Amino acid sequence: MNLERKARVLIAKPGLDGHDRGVKIIARAYRDAGFEVIYTGVHQTPEQIVNAAIQEDVDLVGLSCLSGAHLYLFSEVMRQLRERGADDITVIGGGIIPKEDVPKLREAGMKEVFLPGTSLAQIITWTRENIKLK
Amino acid sequence: MKLLNRVLKGDVRAAAQLIRSLEDDVPEAVAELKDVYLHTGQAYIVGIAGAPGAGKSTILESLIDIFRKGNMKIGVVAIDPTSPLSGGAILGDRLRMQRQGADEDVFIRSLASRGWKGGLSKATMNTVHVLDAMGKDIIFVEAVGSGQGEVDFARIADTSIVTLIPGLGDEIQMMKAGIMEMADIFVINKAEREGSDNLRMSLEAMLSMTPHQPNTWQPNILLTEAILNKGTEQLAKVILRHKDFLISSNKIEKCRRRRAELELTAAIESTLHHHLETMSGCLLVKLIDDLVLRKTDPKSAALKVINLPEQK
Ligand SMILES: Nc1nc2c(ncn2[C@@H]2O[C@H](COP(=O)(O)OP(=O)(O)OP(=O)(O)O)[C@@H](O)[C@H]2O)c(=O)[nH]1
Ligand SMILES: [Mg+2]
């Protein structure tokens, strides 16, 4: 990891459910670990998320979904990133996601999906090891 | 292709990457800046400042909608504070500007202050330049939500907006130096709250203490409820009126010079700083020796380092 460059991450929550406690906790954890966190909150459309990721030139997008619509929403974010030539951005996901959906999300291009019970420290460590700072 | 060529064609990804690399002082990007600069100077720059949570971002969301109806291309540079403890930051201004989240002609960029003083960040002007080169007509710069002393937003802006809310202070705050002196437009946001009329009256009283000179701009006071888009149409009109005033009185030239001056001094400072950090250790050690032995004094030693003749 190139230490000269500051890591930037986008934390967003696509879809209709409005619980933002979890994403706020994640955003703070990244901040406390020295990341610059663009926090766009809840009710994001995939298009808004992709636009924000590109304009903010982030290294990583963290998506959260509790509503059960993750397969559609996450895949749609991945599709639009690809369409706009921005699929070099690392995307991870979390929330209430059944284990059997993980392979499908990976196939859609997500680098990692964190299941309930993952600690904040694990997520931060994973991020440090896996994002490529240009 | 160089990033700049793509930026000039309006390529969002290229612009975002150039902004990022400039912020991180990547040498190739810094080299491109020379050419970027030649393509700037067209955009109109509006600065907005005020206490944390006064509603700056919400006001911008509403203003952007209004200017988009006039088909103007918009850039936003929004600065939030860097944590002095971790070096990280939560950049949350974008959260308030959701309506434009899918509009191709609105480019919003969040920056962390990274310890920069004055309410902006070191990368602010370069970000403005890239957006300018991209063809944005208006660029809004939202300063870190702050107190009274951070006035750089007004030094880089053509039109400076100071956002106030009822209930934070009294007449004494109005008399204090700082951002209150910098406003072309005062906005009293959250005007539905108790105290907004009192606030307006104290502001008017403050402004009436400076006698109105002919051919100068008399700051306006506007009441808004940004969250309901109330009063922001009027604010947009006044911004355009101020712009017309600057152009017709040729005071816009003064804004450009002020901006150039701020950039020049910042560039000199950072160049010196860089010079100092990369300077051969030997010279520093030698000068420190000389200081300890009282062969020289700090000021003379400093002049020697930056290669200036001793002052008489
Ligand atoms: N009651 C009321 N609330 C408002 C109004 N305008 C904005 N708000 C709310 O005030 C809060 C802060 O608004 P922001 O736009 O984020 O304020 P800001 O000045 O950009 O804040 P910082 O960037 O953190 O300094 C949000 O919860 C807004 O919804 C208003 O006219 N009335
Ligand atoms: Mg804000």
pLDDT in tens, B5-62: 999 999 999 999 999 999 998 989 999 999 999 999 999 999 999 989 999 999 999 9
In sequence order, the β-bridge partners of residue B117 are none
d(CA B134, CA B36): 9
φ and ψ of A5, to 5 deg: -100, 145
pLDDT-derived band at A102 (thresholds 50, 70, 90) equals very high
ipTM for the complex shown: 0.93
Token pair in block for residue A84? 């706009």
**Cβ contacts of residue A52 below 8 Å, gap of 6+?**
A10, A12, A38, A40, A44, B94, B101, B108
The single-letter DSSP state of residue B230 is: B
Q: Where are the alpha helices (DSSP H) in chain A?
A: 21-32, 46-55, 70-83, 102-107, 120-130
Between CA B259 and CA B309 the distance in angstroms is 29
The position carrying tokens 């020049």 is B264
pLDDT of amino acid B311: 57
Domain ranges within chain A, ordered by starting residue: 8-130
Tell me which of B7, B18, B20, B73 to substitute to probe the interface with A (most A C-beta atoms closer than 10 Å).
B20
Question: Is residue B108 less than 8 Å (CB to CB) from chain A?
Answer: yes
Kindly tell me if the per-residue pLDDT of A134 is higher than 80: no
**Atom 31, ligand 1: residue with shortest CA distance:** B225
Q: Is B110 on the interface with A (CB under 8 A)?
A: yes
How much distance in Å is there from the Cα of B56 to the middle of ligand 1? 7
Please state the atom number of ligand 1 nearest to the C-alpha of residue B58.
15
Entry field: residues in chain B: 312
- Compute the average pLDDT of residues B127-152: 92
Nearest CA to ligand 1 atom 30: B190
pTM: 0.92
Highest mean pLDDT among B23-32, B177-186, B302-311: B23-32
Does the distance separating the beta carbons of A55 and B12 come in below 8 Å?
A: yes
What whole-number distance in Å separates Cα of residue B47 and Cα of residue B163?
11
Fold assignment, A8-130 = Rossmann fold (3.40.50)
CB contact B276 to A (< 8 Å): no
* DSSP string of B196-210, one letter each residue: HHHHHHHHHHHHHTS
pLDDT of residue B103: 87
User: How are beta strands A60-65 and A90-95 bridged, if at all?
Assistant: parallel
Q: How far, CA to CA in Å, does B193 sit from each of A45, A99, B189, B223, B234?
A: 33, 50, 9, 11, 19
B38: helix, strand or coil = helix
Q: What is the pLDDT of residues B219-251, one digit of tens each?
A: 999 999 999 999 999 999 999 999 999 999 999
Confidence grade of residue A1 (pLDDT, cut at 50, 70, 90): very low
The domains of chain B, with CATH numbers, are 41-250 (3.40.50.300)
φ and ψ of A66, to 5 deg: -115, -5
What's the Rg (C-alpha) of chain A?
A: 13
Is residue B253 within a helix (H) or strand (E), and if so which, with residue range?
helix B252-278
Give the whole-angstrom CA distance, residue B110 versus residue B106: 13
pLDDT the model gives residue A2:
42
- State whether the Cα torsion B122-B124-B125-B131 is positive or negative: positive
